[in-house]
Amino acid sequence: MLLGVNIDHVATLRQARYALLPDSPNAEPSPLRAALDAMAAGADSITIHVRGDRRHMQDRDAVEIRKSCPLPLNLEMGVTTEMTAIALDLKPEFACLVPETREEVTTEGGLDVAGRAVEVTACVKTLQAAGIRVSLFIDPDPEQVRASAATGAEMVELHTGCFANAVGADLEAEIARLTEAARIGHEAGLQVNAGHGINYGNLHLLYAVPHLAELNIGHSIVARAMRVGFETAVREMKALMEGYPSA
């Protein structure tokens, strides 16, 4: 199982102080430094989300990370012409299409691939024609998984936000939903990834979900890094992932 480290919140912290002073020599912390630390600690890829409102990652971060961090890059992006142009310029190894509205605090639900099939399929094809492998960030819903396979995308990333917030019987139900969605995705030939809200306390519960190839994790690693440093935080997460049953 692979770990994609999402470093958006390193940029969130920098923007909290330096959003209006982008050229300040004091601007810190550095997303590129975090990407390199994650690589040193065994991360398999780096994920960044250049949002329409540029609340954390800036275009120049994306360019700098692409240029100076040799790990595969996963660009999370809204299905927009602006972001498609950025992806075509940047040429990351992977793009993950996500829903995006300005008001949300973070990505709050999966992409409605079933409801936006024509638009999403066109975006998938454009990115693939540039050699970018595409993932669709969807709720663990059979209809969305099947619709994702129909777009020709190589991967889905199952949204684990509800799983992460559930307790008791609801948690069991969320694990069952993830399990069914992962099975359907795998049978349809998709690589099945998962992400959102995964942390050091709940990751082991995902051992029950089959076919997971990659987890994308950000917030909990960045938070943990404040106590133990970025490299150790990534190493600890990788160690937990080793408990995932191999196929």
User: Which residues contact ligand PXP (rule: CB under 6 A)?
Assistant: 6, 8, 49, 76, 96, 98, 106-107, 137, 157, 195-198, 216-220
Least distance (Å) between residue 26 CB and ligand PXP: 26
H or E segment to which residue 134 belongs: strand 133-138
Closer residue to ligand PXP, CB minimum distance, 23 or 227: 227
Closer residue to ligand PXP, CB minimum distance, 69 or 96: 96
Least distance (Å) between residue 116 CB and ligand PXP: 16
Closer residue to ligand PXP, CB minimum distance, 23 or 214: 214
Is 76 a catalytic site residue? yes
Least distance (Å) between residue 131 CB and ligand PXP: 21
CA–CA separation, 145 vs 150, rounded Å?
A: 9
Q: Active-site residue among 186, 196, 211, 214?
A: 196
CB 112 within 8 A of CB 145: no
Closer residue to ligand PXP, CB minimum distance, 24 or 165: 165
Is 49 a catalytic site residue? yes
Q: Active-site residue among 49, 56, 186, 211?
A: 49
Q: Which residues contact 37 (CB under 8 A, 6 or more apart)?
A: 229, 230, 231, 234
Is 108 a catalytic site residue? no
Q: Active-site residue among 9, 56, 76, 159?
A: 76
**SS3 state of residue 117:** helix
Least distance (Å) between residue 176 CB and ligand PXP: 21
Concatenate the DSSP letters of all residues of 141-201 into one string: -HHHHHHHHHHT-SEEEEE-HHHHH--HHHHHHHHHHHHHHHHHHHHTT-EEEEESS--TT
* Single-letter residue type at 107: T
18-22 LR contacts (CB < 8 Å, sep 24+): 22/58, 22/60
Return the active site residues. Answer: 49, 76, 196
